[in-house]
């Protein structure tokens, strides 16, 4: 039996997607060739790329003046591409620092110019989302991380700003409805909620590009990739294909609207159990709790070995918390079924009775 996979990333993908992915490696489109041995400029693959882009556009209602790109280098390269493409030589940008990923993004921006911290929750090991921020009005852009994968916190509202909004949505894209028109740029590494590692989704408003008076290295320039439809160089065909299958699966299951309801239910019942069960305690502030990554711990850490054993013996994978938070982290990405969450809750209740 397949394990209940709570891994934070790379993460669980739907069973039918994994099947489609493995078939494509042996025999793609019944052409007796493998997906990974054909030209990326051949008709079958160009169709894959076009379909993936169309699915993103439909699922998130992406407006026409936004380009949809499948790039490489992970979300981590976007930390650098963002300032290269949006921060002018004499300009300033702002970052809301809600954890390790925001910090890494900020570090890259500082290499290219003036980057201000306009909100910060490091005083409590990032267990909350800073609010009531005073954000300068003349920024080239404001960057934030919508879901903090490590700490289990999530923005429940868009930051109030007139500046161009840039968002790292690596760990909650496609998990809930968003209004893309509020953003200048959205990026997300595939491997949290979309597909296997290897590609990064970028959604960018074309009107904000070409204004920094910088000499941008060719591969780091969004306009390079827009002008070549994400095929300036060889794209990561496997990762894009499997992402396309996942997006198709999402669309066939009612799209973002339907998955959001299920995601809310999964998170709700697990948080309820954490709050009810006297053995456990949540990490993130209640109002900022993530629906994607649920962070919690045992009140009595001496019980850890026993609880870990119970989980291991019952098919649970990937529950260990990030080392900077400790405890446990249950990642409830789109493909994780409700039954896996119910299984975990049953184990927590069983543990309470046994102890």
Ligand X SMILES: *Cc1c(COP(=O)(O)O)cnc(C)c1O
Q: Does 75 bind ligand X (CB under 6 A)?
A: yes
- Count the Cβ atoms, other than its own, within 10 Å of residue 96: 23
User: What single string gives the DSSP state of each residue in 210-270?
Assistant: S-S-----GGG-HHHHHHTTT-SS---HHHHHHHHHHHHHHHHTTHHHHHHHHHHHHHHHH
Q: Does 9 bind ligand X (CB under 6 A)?
A: yes
CB under 6 A: which stretch of 28-36, 37-45, 68-76, 224-232 binds ligand X?
68-76
* Member of 108, 140, 168, 221 binding ligand X (CB under 6 A): 168
* Member of 121, 171, 290, 295 binding ligand X (CB under 6 A): 171
* Member of 143, 176, 192, 329 binding ligand X (CB under 6 A): 192
Coil, helix or strand at residue 273: helix
* Member of 82, 149, 193, 212 binding ligand X (CB under 6 A): 149
Coil, helix or strand at residue 303: helix
* Member of 189, 195, 198, 327 binding ligand X (CB under 6 A): 189
Mark whether 249 is an active-site residue: no
- Residue ranges of the alpha helices (H) in the chain? 15-26, 43-60, 74-86, 100-112, 222-227, 237-252, 255-276, 304-313, 338-354
Q: How far is the CB of 273 from ligand X (least distance, A)?
A: 24
Q: Does 273 bind ligand X (CB under 6 A)?
A: no
CA gap 143, 78 in Å, rounded: 11
Catalytic residue among 140, 168, 172, 221: 168
In this structure, the strands spanning 293-298 and 280-282 are: antiparallel
By C-beta, is 60 or 190 nearer to ligand X? Answer: 190
By C-beta, is 85 or 193 nearer to ligand X? Answer: 193
By C-beta, is 230 or 348 nearer to ligand X? Answer: 230
Which distant-in-sequence residues (6+ apart) come within 8 Å of 30 by Cβ?
Answer: none
By C-beta, is 52 or 186 nearer to ligand X? Answer: 186
By C-beta, is 9 or 14 nearer to ligand X? Answer: 9
CA gap 66, 43 in Å, rounded: 24
Interface size with ligand X, residues (CB under 6 A):
12
Q: Does 317 bind ligand X (CB under 6 A)?
A: no
Residues that bind ligand X (CB under 6 A): 9, 74-76, 101, 145, 149, 168, 170-171, 189, 192
């Amino acid at each position: 039996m397949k394990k209940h996979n709570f891994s934070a990333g790379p993460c669980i993908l739907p069973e039918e997607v994994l099947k489609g992915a493995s078939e494509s490696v042996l025999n793609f489109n019944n052409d007796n060739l493998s997906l990974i041995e054909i030209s990326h400029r051949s008709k079958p693959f160009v169709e894959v790329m076009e379909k993936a882009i169309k699915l993103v556009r439909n699922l998130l209602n992406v407006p026409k003046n936004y380009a949809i790109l499948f790039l490489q280098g992970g979300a981590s390269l976007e930390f650098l591409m963002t300032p290269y493409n949006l921060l002018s030589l004499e300009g300033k940008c702002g970052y809301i620092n809600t954890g390790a990923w925001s910090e890494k993004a900020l570090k890259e921006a500082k290499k290219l110019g003036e980057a201000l911290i306009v909100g910060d929750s490091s005083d409590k090991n990032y267990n909350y989302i800073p609010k009531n921020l005073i954000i300068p009005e003349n920024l080239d852009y404001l960057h934030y991380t919508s879901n903090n994968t490590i700490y289990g916190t999530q923005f429940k509202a868009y930051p109030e700003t007139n500046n161009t909004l840039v968002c790292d949505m690596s760990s909650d894209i496609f998990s809930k409805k968003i209004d893309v028109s509020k953003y200048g740029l959205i990026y997300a590494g595939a491997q949290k909620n979309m597909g296997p590692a290897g590609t990064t989704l970028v959604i960018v408003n074309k009107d904000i590009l070409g204004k920094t008076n910088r000499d941008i290295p060719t591969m780091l320039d969004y306009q390079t990739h827009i002008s070549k439809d994400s095929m300036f160089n060889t794209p990561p065909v496997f990762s894009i294909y499997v992402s396309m299958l996942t997006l198709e699966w999402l669309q066939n299951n009612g799209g973002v609207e339907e998955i959001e309801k299920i995601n809310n239910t999964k998170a709700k019942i697990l948080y309820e159990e954490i709050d009810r069960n006297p053995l456990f305690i949540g990490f993130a502030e209640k109002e900022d709790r993530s629906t994607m990554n649920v962070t919690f711990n045992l009140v009595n850490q001496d019980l850890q070995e026993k609880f870990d054993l119970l989980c291991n013996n019952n098919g649970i994978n990937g529950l260990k918390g990030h080392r900077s938070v400790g405890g446990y982290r249950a990642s409830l990405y789109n493909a994780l079924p409700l039954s896996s969450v119910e299984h975990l809750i049953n184990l927590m209740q069983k543990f309470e009775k046994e102890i």
